[in-house]
């Protein structure tokens, strides 16, 4: 049971918009800790996608955006492309500990 | 460009100690702006944080495996290491090393490619 809860799977057609939620509690996201998002393509290491709730590292397309409210955060992907098919993980902190969500598998139909 | 590379045995016997090293290139491990982290991912499962350490020695471990974990750093070789004792089949996973930015965000901005460690007799 992960500390941060994500839906196991989401799907969308090319060009559509999808969102992935990440629900925490008052001891992690709700305590003010920032949320980071990672994309893991099949057979590869995770890659930083969003940091500090809303910021994109250099090279990440602006089709990816993040938000945070209360004890939850969300990742939105617009203009869905086949190459976006991957696992997505949210990550935050709980006191001095680093915690991850259970991951969400995005399928591009 | 910073690069991290994990190395170590791919097969460990039950009850023995798993030892991995992460070599950092393209940047110094002796930076006060970052900590160095181990994360693992059992086959088909989610990411699990193992622990993090600063080059000057402060360490933070996941409470679920804290009693079996030791992390260390060798600044002369620009490497940091993980030891996990008394391993069982449940410790079979891909092990990643990563760099954590020590700001409010605490993001893991660079990752190694990962190394699969199988625990089996």
Closest alpha carbon within chain A to B100: A98
Q: Can you tell me which residue has the tokens 């995770």? A: A46
**Whole-angstrom distance, CA of residue A88 vs CA of residue B61:** 24
Would you call B66 helix, strand, or coil by DSSP?
helix
Partners of residue B19 on adjacent β-strands? B83
Query: For A66-94, what is the mean pLDDT?
Result: 97
pLDDT score at A95:
83
DSSP chain A: --SBB--SEEEE-TT--EEEEEE--TTTGGGT---EEEEE-TTS--EEEEBTTTBPPTT--TTEEEEEETTEEEEEE-S--GGG-EEEEEEEEETTEEEEB--EEEEE-
Closest alpha carbon within chain B to A103: B46
- A9-49 pLDDT tens trace: 999 999 999 999 999 999 999 999 999 999 999 999 999 99
Q: How far is B76 from chain A (nearest CA, A)?
A: 27
pLDDT score at B56:
82
Q: Does residue A102 surpass a pLDDT of 80?
A: yes
In contact, B101 and B34? CB cutoff 8 Å: yes
CB within 8 Å: B47 and A93: no
Q: Does residue A5 surpass a pLDDT of 90?
A: yes
In contact, A90 and A36? CB cutoff 8 Å: yes
Q: What percent of chain A has pLDDT over 70?
A: 100
In contact, B109 and A57? CB cutoff 8 Å: yes
Residue B2 touches chain A, beta carbons under 8 Å: no
Q: Is the dihedral of CA A85, A49, B59, B61 positive or negative?
A: negative
- Pairs across A and B, CB distance < 8 A: 60
* pLDDT, averaged across chain A: 96
Q: In the numeric block, which tokens belong to residue B47?
A: 């990411």
* pLDDT, averaged across chain B: 95
Residue B15 touches chain A, beta carbons under 8 Å: no
**Helix or strand (DSSP H, E) at B62:** none
Residues of chain B with pLDDT under 70: none
Q: How far is B26 from chain A (nearest CA, A)?
A: 18
CB within 8 Å: B46 and A34: no
Closest alpha carbon within chain A to B46: A102
In contact, A7 and A60? CB cutoff 8 Å: no
């Amino acid at each position: 049971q992960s500390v941060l809860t994500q839906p196991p799977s989401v799907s969308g057609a090319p060009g559509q918009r999808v969102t992935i939620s990440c629900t925490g509690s008052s001891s992690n996201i709700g305590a003010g800790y920032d949320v980071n998002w990672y994309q893991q393509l099949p057979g590869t290491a995770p890659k930083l996608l969003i940091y500090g709730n809303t910021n994109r590292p250099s090279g990440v397309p602006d089709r990816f955006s993040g938000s945070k409210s209360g004890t939850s955060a969300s990742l939105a992907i617009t203009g869905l492309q086949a190459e976006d098919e991957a696992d997505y993980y949210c990550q935050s902190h709980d006191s001095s500990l680093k915690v991850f969500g259970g991951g969400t598998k995005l399928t591009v139909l | 460009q910073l690069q991290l590379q994990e190395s170590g045995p791919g097969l460990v016997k039950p009850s023995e100690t798993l030892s991995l090293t992460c070599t950092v290139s393209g940047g110094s491990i002796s930076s006060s702006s970052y900590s160095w982290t181990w994360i693992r991912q059992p086959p088909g499962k989610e990411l699990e944080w193992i622990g993090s350490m600063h080059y000057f020695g402060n360490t933070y471990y996941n409470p679920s495996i804290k009693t079996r974990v030791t992390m260390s750093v060798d600044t002369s070789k620009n490497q940091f290491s993980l030891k996990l004792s008394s391993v069982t089949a449940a410790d079979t996973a891909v092990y990643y090393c990563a760099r954590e930015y020590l700001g409010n965000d605490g993001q893991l901005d660079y990752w190694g490619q990962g190394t699969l460690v199988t625990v089996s007799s």
